[in-house]
Structure 1
Amino acid sequence: MIHYQSTRGSKYIKTSAQAIIQGIAEDKGLYVPNEIPGLPFAIEDMIGKSYQEIAFRIIRAFFEDYTDEEMEACVRGAYDSKFEEEEIVPIVKGGDAYFLELYHGKTAAFKDMALSILPYLLTTAMKKEKEDKKICILTATSGDTGKAALEGFADVPGTEIIVFYPNKGVSQVQERQMVTQEGENTHVFAINGNFDDAQTGVKKIFNDSSFAEKLAEIDCKLSSANSINIGRLVPQVAYYVYGYIKLVERGVIENGDKVNIVVPTGNFGNILAAYYAGQMGIPVKKFICASNENKVLTDFINTGTYNTNREFFLTNSPSMDILISSNLERLLYHLSGQDGEEIKGLMESLEKNKKYTVSPKINYALDRFYGGYADVKRTNETIGHMYNKYGYLMDTHTAVAYRVYEDYVAYTGDKTPTLIASTASAYKFADSVTESIGLEKGESGFESVKNLYEKTKVRVPAGLKDLENKEIRHTGVLDIEEMPDAVYDCLK
């Protein structure tokens, strides 16, 4: 059976249920499977199958301690009519690539794909492990994870969810989605700092043993909805496998042909899920990692040195405004040959010196990745070009991905059929998108939503309609050092 171990060498081994409950390992590492399972089916046998059928088989392959009945209930509960497209993940041709549209869930972002199922996986795990403590889901967000996690865990029995987001570091629509969240167990705070500050604050709370003891006294324990939780990461693998199967089904490629996969990423989780799909057996030629001006990943892929000693930019693709890419640690662990001591050393160097350089072995293995970036100007130009030439409307993050894809093709001449992860509805970043396609920016993000609809007639996601009229329920603004007290006050 596949089991889960820490990227930093802890001797403790977990089942998937135990790893999902705990969230982060006791030595501060992230849980990874001791082996990546092979595809549990032949591609040709999945032609014509639904997203739910494919997701069940993929997720179950990683989480073997869940029974078929348990996993079927999780998948059935997650991928239902809350998604506005019956096929869950449409694949749309735009320009010279195929867009894997991951944003048709309740919060109009790709995080719904995993955070719709994580509450089911977690509550099932709690029953399996006879866990009677209240679980507090503690999450930092750069914009989309927070709302998707809040939506998934709102009023789920036995849980509380606390979300921290960077004050003035998300779009107006993203912020309003979070601060209007209903649910007696939901708590949202703005943090005076950027996403890295919020994420570092959350990790410090997770790694504070005295704080854990304090929570135990009130029968609470912490878990996470960030992609540091393996229960958040694994469901994302399913949509890359699904995308490949559908390209075969349509006749775009033959079974066995390679594809390229392009992912706009800041925390590296979404592209790591693509890598896992490749390790399972999906034929991938190149994993193309697209960054905005916070191009720490681009520089790392091109040099082998990860260096956060740099200027931090606030851009119009805020979910990628990140300098510390947590999930990269998992990739490095796999590429190192599962050398926990080596990874522990790299992470200690990052914490102490804000940088590290990987071994020649890891650097050589990074050859399967291509790193590129697009600044705000080029991002906006891409949105306008794609809409005006092809009638395809995309958000800022997806535009970063397409621009980096164009750069890759120009640089390499590689015309391999390509899947691009389209990660959010254009309406979530309506201010930038309206200007990019030649409209005047509205006086607010909500007015820009209306203007964008009037111009394009692209459906506004249900979760974004009349957002400006919803009651604001969460108004807290904290300094970083106030985070632990805020967590305890929410739970006591």
Structure 2
Amino acid sequence: MRYISTRGEAPALGFEDVLLTGLATDGGLYVPESLPHFSLEEIRSWRGLSYSELAFNVMHPFVDDAIPAEDFRRMLDETYAVFAHKAVAPLVQLDTNEWVMELFRGPTLAFKDFALQLLGRLLDYVLEKRQQHVVIMGATSGDTGSAAIEGCRRCEHVDIFILHPYQRVSEVQRRQMTTVQGDNIHNIAVRGNFDDCQRMVKESFGNQSFLGGKTQLAAVNSINWARIMAQIVYYFHASLALGGPDRSMAFSVPTGNFGDIFAGYLAKKMGLPISQLVIATNRNDILHRFMSGNKYEQHQLEHTLSPSMDIMVSSNFERLLFDLHGRDGLAVKTLLEKASKGPVSIEDYRWKHARKLFDSDAVDDKTTCDTIREIYQQNEYLLDPHTAIGVHAARNCRRDPAVPMITLGTAHPAKFPDAVAESGLSVKPPLPAHMADLFEREERYTVLDNNIAGVQEFIAKNWKNT
């Protein structure tokens, strides 16, 4: 399996190099040169498998011979053994043919654990084999940071630097990152928004001279292909649990960076019957504006009750644009250069092709709170604000009531108690037992100005091999 850049100029790489490289040298994102495709008969044969067994079948073609099969199986068993539910991604029914897939049963209570618990093990394996040290640099709008730290903190060959927007993540999200102790763990609070943090990460990957040639950066954001690869699995898991592949499924995905829903798009291309993918966003609705009106234009970023989606530059959207343009890297590069200067649209026939599968909705804070309250009153089931946006969008955009609609439950409601309180409910979501003392733990983080030179200087001074 080889991987190519969405901008067409970087060299093709194997799995190990893509794992460590993150962003391609031409500024693009890596995607597989070709996708594996599974027949309905083969998918059907996976019914009854454990989550880790299913994950092996779905992901092994992407890893190929880079990691021996028995080692990869062991990593997957270890990854999903730490989840708090035996089903790993249990399904909860809300209404007739309407479901939430709980993706928050991992150590940090968010869907990012599915990929980042695995990514830490993959990095440890490859870096030990190569006797190489890397610096992980990542940006988070709330959940990626804690999942990356938890997944990678025991890695012997990495230093971790996570940037988050100062005072723009929930207190639980912040404490999950800043209370993890370790000489190789560094949390940086940037006086800016998530897009500022993400821009610094991308620019740093493009020019790593600040590291003095002594190490290299590795990515934990969803620009890293391994993140997307691991997220494909739970689409197959949900489908098989509800009668697939003999019936089609629809999914509603709360998303800001487009990675989680792009994994669903890939699952369909790999042979899983999916009839609809709903892009569920908050007021930061660049994806909704594109999908509903073929206009890709950045607006001012707004702070909302669903901070993990407070994103205006959706990195993974480039991977979809690459496919929509017939995998023409130059066309993608040209389009994105124009998009950095103003609004852009794509050819009408390309946009209409995307609309065959994708729908979208943008949900404001009031409607988010109304949905949290409504679902709790109907089912005594508590949603976090991101999942609530997914549920509302699912109901608003649903094409066919006969097709099961599955909303991805992306985070535990305990991470967002302010949103639950604002919904008017008196119930307070408790933290799980392993996090019960979170508010008593010592925090450690550094506040820096929204300045890439200062951030790079901090990293250069603090990674442990300097």
Q: Same fold (TM over 0.5)?
A: yes
Is the 2:210–2:457 Cα contact (8 Å) retained in structure 1?
A: no
**Partner Cα separation in structure 1 for residue 270 and residue 106 of structure 2:** 26
> Relative to structure 2, which stretch is displaced further, 37-46 or 274-283?
37-46
Aligned ranges for residues 366-445 of structure 1 at < 5 Å?
A: 366-367=354-355, 368-409=357-398, 412=399, 414-439=401-426
Aligned ranges for residues 88-237 of structure 1 at < 5 Å?
A: 88-96=88-96, 97-127=98-128, 130=130, 132-211=131-210, 214=212, 216=213, 219-237=214-232
**Superimposed CA distance per residue, residues 397-442 of structure 1 (whole angstroms, 9 cap, x where no aligned partner):** 0000111111113xx5654211110000000001111332522xxx
Is the 1:197–1:480 Cα contact (8 Å) retained in structure 2?
A: no
- Give how far 1:16 is off: 1.2
Indicate the residue corresponding to 1:83 in structure 2: 83
**Partner Cα separation in structure 1 for residue 46 and residue 110 of structure 2:** 26
Could you say what secondary structure the match of 1:123 adopts?
helix
- Give how far 1:356 is off: 2.5
Is the 2:421–2:428 Cα contact (8 Å) retained in structure 1?
A: yes
- Give how far 1:255 is off: 3.5
Q: 1:472 is matched with which residue: 443, 449, 452?
A: 443
Q: 1:257 is matched with which residue: 247, 258, 264?
A: 247
**Superimposed CA distance per residue, residues 29-56 of structure 1 (whole angstroms, 9 cap, x where no aligned partner):** 0000011111387232112111011011
**Superimposed CA distance per residue, residues 13-34 of structure 1 (whole angstroms, 9 cap, x where no aligned partner):** 1111110111111101000001
**Partner Cα separation in structure 2 for residue 384 and residue 160 of structure 1:** 42
**Partner Cα separation in structure 1 for residue 237 and residue 296 of structure 2:** 32
**Superimposed CA distance per residue, residues 442-475 of structure 1 (whole angstroms, 9 cap, x where no aligned partner):** xxxxxxxxx614xxxxx63234312110011224
- Give how far 1:478 is off: 3.3
**Partner Cα separation in structure 2 for residue 232 and residue 43 of structure 1:** 22
Indicate the residue corresponding to 2:63 in structure 1: 63
Distance verdict in 2 for CA 1:60–1:413, change over 3 Å:
closer
Number of aligned pairs?
A: 459
Could you say what secondary structure the match of 1:26 adopts?
coil
Indicate the residue corresponding to 1:270 in structure 2: 260
Indicate the residue corresponding to 2:321 in structure 1: 332
**Partner Cα separation in structure 2 for residue 238 and residue 220 of structure 1:** 32
Indicate the residue corresponding to 2:288 in structure 1: 298
Q: What letter is aligned with 2:2? A: H
Indicate the residue corresponding to 1:243 in structure 2: 238
**Partner Cα separation in structure 2 for residue 490 and residue 242 of structure 1:** 41
**Superimposed CA distance per residue, residues 214-262 of structure 1 (whole angstroms, 9 cap, x where no aligned partner):** 1x2xx311010000000111000011111111112xxxxx642111111
TM-score normalised by L of structure 2: 0.95
Indicate the residue corresponding to 2:432 in structure 1: 461
Is the 1:5–1:34 Cα contact (8 Å) retained in structure 2?
A: yes
Is the 2:121–2:152 Cα contact (8 Å) retained in structure 1?
A: no
**Partner Cα separation in structure 2 for residue 183 and residue 155 of structure 1:** 9
Q: What letter is aligned with 2:259? A: G
> Relative to structure 2, which stretch is displaced further, 23-32 or 464-473?
464-473
Is the 1:332–1:362 Cα contact (8 Å) retained in structure 2?
A: no
**Partner Cα separation in structure 1 for residue 234 and residue 24 of structure 2:** 26
Report whether the alignment pairs 1:318 with 2:307: yes
**Partner Cα separation in structure 1 for residue 432 and residue 168 of structure 2:** 22
- Give how far 1:209 is off: 4.8
- Give how far 1:359 is off: 2.6
Give the gaps of 5 or more residues in structure 1. Answer: 249-253, 440-450, 454-458
Could you say what secondary structure the match of 1:434 adopts?
helix
Indicate the residue corresponding to 1:445 in structure 2: none
Is the 1:262–1:420 Cα contact (8 Å) retained in structure 2?
A: yes
**Partner Cα separation in structure 2 for residue 232 and residue 413 of structure 1:** 30
> Relative to structure 2, which stretch is displaced further, 238-247 or 355-364?
355-364
- Give how far 1:336 is off: 1.4
> Relative to structure 2, which stretch is displaced further, 258-267 or 479-488?
479-488
Indicate the residue corresponding to 1:485 in structure 2: 457
Q: What letter is aligned with 1:243? A: A
Report whether the alignment pairs 1:287 with 2:286: no
Is the 2:208–2:216 Cα contact (8 Å) retained in structure 1?
A: no
**Partner Cα separation in structure 2 for residue 389 and residue 437 of structure 1:** 15
**Superimposed CA distance per residue, residues 155-182 of structure 1 (whole angstroms, 9 cap, x where no aligned partner):** 3111111000001111111111111112
**Partner Cα separation in structure 2 for residue 161 and residue 398 of structure 1:** 29
Indicate the residue corresponding to 2:9 in structure 1: 10
Query: Identity rate of aligned residues, in percent?
Result: 35
TM-score normalised by L of structure 1: 0.90
Indicate the residue corresponding to 1:33 in structure 2: 32
Q: What letter is aligned with 2:235? A: Y
Indicate the residue corresponding to 1:349 in structure 2: 338
Could you say what secondary structure the match of 1:157 adopts?
coil
> Relative to structure 2, which stretch is displaced further, 413-422 or 310-319?
413-422
Could you say what secondary structure the match of 1:273 adopts?
helix
Could you say what secondary structure the match of 1:257 adopts?
coil
What is the root-mean-square deviation of aligned Cα atoms in Å? Answer: 1.6
